[in-house]
């Protein structure tokens, strides 16, 4: 299965600032996904990133708050903008693998103070 490297693994940020999370996959993939995992809540899909096109955002998530880049078939970034304590969460990237379901990165644990 694909190996996903996600950086940073954790960060503590001041409110009002932005953080960019990187996701690197060891193989070329068409679609990459960004999820949020809030304490006590289900993993929730933020957006889907295809190379060469704008990301597709799920209900409740907007590009201004979570801009995404997808410059090639192995890399994507998610930025959490103008952060508030409510953005404290684990952010995960994921890729779909044929017949094998979806693989996740190890996540970025974000704390906003």
Stretch that binds another protein, among 13-21, 61-69, 76-84, 100-108 (CB under 8 A): 100-108
Q: Are strands 19-25 and 10-13 parallel, antiparallel or unpaired?
A: unpaired
Q: How far apart are CA 104 and CA 86, in angstroms?
A: 23
* CB nearer another protein, residue 1 or residue 18: 1
Stretch that binds another protein, among 1-9, 12-20, 64-72, 78-86 (CB under 8 A): 1-9
Q: Which of 14, 40, 52, 64 binds another protein (CB under 8 A)?
A: 40
In angstroms, give the least distance from the CB of 82 to another protein.
Answer: 26
3-class secondary structure for 20-60? EEEEEECCCCCEEEEEEECCCCCEEEEEEEECCCCCEECCC
* Binding flag, residue 104, another protein (CB under 8 A): yes
């Amino acid at each position: 299965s694909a190996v996903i490297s996600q950086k940073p693994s954790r960060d503590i940020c001041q409110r009002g600032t932005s953080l960019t999370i990187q996701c690197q996959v060891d193989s070329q993939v068409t679609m990459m996904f960004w999820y949020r995992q809030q304490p006590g809540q289900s993993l929730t899909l933020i957006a889907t990133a295809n190379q060469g096109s704008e990301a597709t955002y799920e209900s409740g998530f907007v590009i201004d708050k979570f801009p995404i880049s997808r410059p090639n078939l192995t890399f994507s970034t998610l930025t959490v903008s103008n952060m508030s304590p409510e953005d404290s969460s684990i952010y995960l990237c994921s890729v779909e693998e044929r017949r094998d379901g979806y693989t996740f990165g190890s996540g970025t644990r974000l704390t906003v103070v």
